[in-house]
Structure 1
Amino acid sequence: MPDFRCSSASVEDAEPIAGTAPTDTDILLVEAPGPWGRDAVTDNRLPGLVRDHLASLEAKVLLVRRCDGSAGPGTRVYRARATEGGYDVRTAVLDRPEDLLEPSLLRDPAALTAYDGPLWLVCTNGKRDRCCAEIGRPIAGRLSARWPEGTWETTHLGGHRFSGTLLALPSGLTLGRLDPDTALAVCEAVERGEVPVPWVRGRAGRSGTEQVRELHLVGGGHPDDEVVAVPGPARRQSCGDDKVKGTTRYEVRTA
């Protein structure tokens, strides 16, 4: 199926997006302009020692770049750690990528400064999945006109089939099924502190069950209702390969 698009198939199947946000509680963002390979953390233009170091970290590593191809000066990094209401985000500009090898950079909170602006991390790695590139890049371009400092293209967030998808920090809300016409309004709602449920996959850093429970309550659901994970249908989940994998869905059982 050379023309298969996982995002279109997911919409046609009416696959639920709730509960599909990343569960990572510790995220490192590293500026890495230029092309990315399928396994972007190990296939990029950063120095070899830096690539190896990033691949060894326990934190989830995402590479970021500007959609217009600009870079620097220096290498921008962000560290995001999950809190009760989202993520604590800290940042630094390194003189050179090799500074990432300094152990204190990631161990000492004082090495990074607090960052309180919005970050819109739009998944665009076409080598991983063509939907991310075809849908994500126009979204990144639209958002960068509104938030030039806060918008980045990023590597694999997970959930290609929900493209266009992005991670919003510091809220941790992960959005899906965006297009250039909806992305700006939806992100403005997130910036106002709203939870635009139709486009929200969940709040990253939490389990799928917790993500769905929050969305259920935001939508007016009863707090005593139970959210249960159940096996979903096996389906092809990516344009990048033809593997069929199982999925997870969530049922809300009323109290």
Structure 2
Amino acid sequence: MHATAPTCSALSAQLAEPLPGTAAPAAAWLCLEQPGPWGREGLTDSHLDPELGRELTRRTEGTGVRVQLIRRPGRHADTEPAAPREVLLAHTGPGAGWLRRSSTRKPGELLDLDFSRIAAGEHDGWGYADADPRLLVCTNGRRDRCCALLARPLLDELGDDDRVWESTHTGGHRFAPAGVLLPSGYAYGRLDADTAIRALDGAADRTVELTGCRGRSSWPAGGQAAELAVRERTGERGIDALRVRATGPERFTVEHTDGRRWRVSVREHRLEPPRPNSCGKDPALPEAVSVTAVTA
């Protein structure tokens, strides 16, 4: 008999792959409720009109807006095609972030959005303001089995919490259960129920939960790691307290709203030994970011 190969998430955890600097960069998130099953490519492989999915992908490409399908946790029976669907729209910019909510019976209406303006922080009055944070948990098992096998028990533990949505691929199967908080854009890996609740409750109080935090999607990988390093060093938890600015290759300045600043050097490198970044893929060397210096 052949031993069952470890999953990508089990290998990542066993090899202590670092989480900081692994969030999928995105200035804004557009989340459309789509009941029923999801295939590997949710936008074009679900019961959403695939032409609409392709056009949403085309129009948001290069804008900094990331499009997700979402659904309520639990059974995924289809609804009538014309049934109203929830839509969440979030901008992640520190000090300028927002979460808007609406519903639609015609998802094609989303093509009327100006994605460049959304990425720049302008919602132009779309929908209505939503003060409650939302946690998107990836459960797209057709993309990677870890996302279903590990996220579903987490969702069962979280129970009937209307702040939590299932989501298509949020990036980082090997960190499953993986989630993203909106509107801040902080991503999390190896989530458990206690951490998820602390992250949601903290976000409501405008603070960051650092356990399992992969970084804020507002920043590139190096900037994510730089910000988290400053938070660990200073104990700063305010969601909007820090700004990150690239000052050179692998160099960042992290600025506090009170005027303090830190120079952070990072090193982007690949990790040994090779391991699959996703279940079923060939082994590869994943990219990682290490912070090498923090100076005030």
TM-score range, shorter chain: 0.7 to 0.9
C-alpha deviation, 1:254, in angstroms: 4.1
The 8 Å contact of residues 122 and 165 in structure 1, kept in 2 or not, is answered as yes
C-alpha deviation, 1:64, in angstroms: 0.3
- What one-letter code is carried by the residue in structure 2 that aligns with 1:15? E
Residue in 2 that maps onto 1:120: 135
Residue in 2 that maps onto 1:164: 177
Matches within 5 A, 1:48-127: 48-58=50-60, 59-68=65-74, 69=76, 73-85=83-95, 87-101=97-111, 103-104=112-113, 109-127=124-142
With normalisation by structure 2, the TM-score equals 0.76
C-alpha deviation, 1:186, in angstroms: 4.1
SS at match of 1:220: helix
Structure 1 alignment gaps of length 5 or more: none
Per-residue CA shift, 1:46-79, capped at 9, x if unaligned? 1233223222222311100111237695011122
- What one-letter code is carried by the residue in structure 2 that aligns with 1:47? D
The 8 Å contact of residues 277 and 284 in structure 2, kept in 1 or not, is answered as yes
**Distance (Å, rounded) in 1 between the aligned partners of 2:96 and 2:177:** 21
SS at match of 1:64: strand
- What one-letter code is carried by the residue in structure 2 that aligns with 1:236? P
Residue in 1 that maps onto 2:282: 242
**Distance (Å, rounded) in 2 between the aligned partners of 1:127 and 1:211:** 28
The answer to whether 1:206 aligns with 2:214 is no
C-alpha deviation, 1:125, in angstroms: 0.3
Q: 1:203 to 1:105 in 2, by over 3 A?
A: closer
Larger helix fraction of residues: 1
Pick from 226, 230, 239: which aligns with 2:268? 230
SS at match of 2:262: coil
**Distance (Å, rounded) in 1 between the aligned partners of 2:30 and 2:294:** 38
- What one-letter code is carried by the residue in structure 2 that aligns with 1:155? T
**Distance (Å, rounded) in 1 between the aligned partners of 2:277 and 2:15:** 12
Per-residue CA shift, 1:167-204, capped at 9, x if unaligned? 01122211111123543344333433332223111111
Residue in 1 that maps onto 2:210: 197
Q: 1:240 to 1:85 in 2, by over 3 A?
A: farther
Question: Which sits farther off after the overlay, 240-249 or 164-173?
Answer: 240-249
Which structure has the bigger radius of gyration? 2
With normalisation by structure 1, the TM-score equals 0.87
Structure 2 alignment gaps of length 5 or more: 118-122, 235-259
Identity %: 33
The 8 Å contact of residues 195 and 211 in structure 2, kept in 1 or not, is answered as no
Pick from 164, 170, 192: which aligns with 1:151? 164
C-alpha deviation, 1:245, in angstroms: 4.3
Q: 1:182 to 1:79 in 2, by over 3 A?
A: closer
Matches within 5 A, 1:19-38: 19-38=21-40
Name the count of aligned residue pairs. 252
Matches within 5 A, 1:180-195: 180-195=193-208
Q: 1:78 to 1:187 in 2, by over 3 A?
A: closer
Q: Please, what is the CA RMSD of the aligned residues?
A: 2.5
Question: Which sits farther off after the overlay, 123-132 or 71-80?
Answer: 71-80
Question: Which sits farther off after the overlay, 244-253 or 158-167?
Answer: 244-253
Higher-RCO chain (CA-CA 8 Å, sequence separation at least 6): 1
SS at match of 1:54: helix
- What one-letter code is carried by the residue in structure 2 that aligns with 1:227? S
C-alpha deviation, 1:104, in angstroms: 4.8
Q: 1:61 to 1:9 in 2, by over 3 A?
A: same
Question: Which sits farther off after the overlay, 185-194 or 12-21?
Answer: 185-194
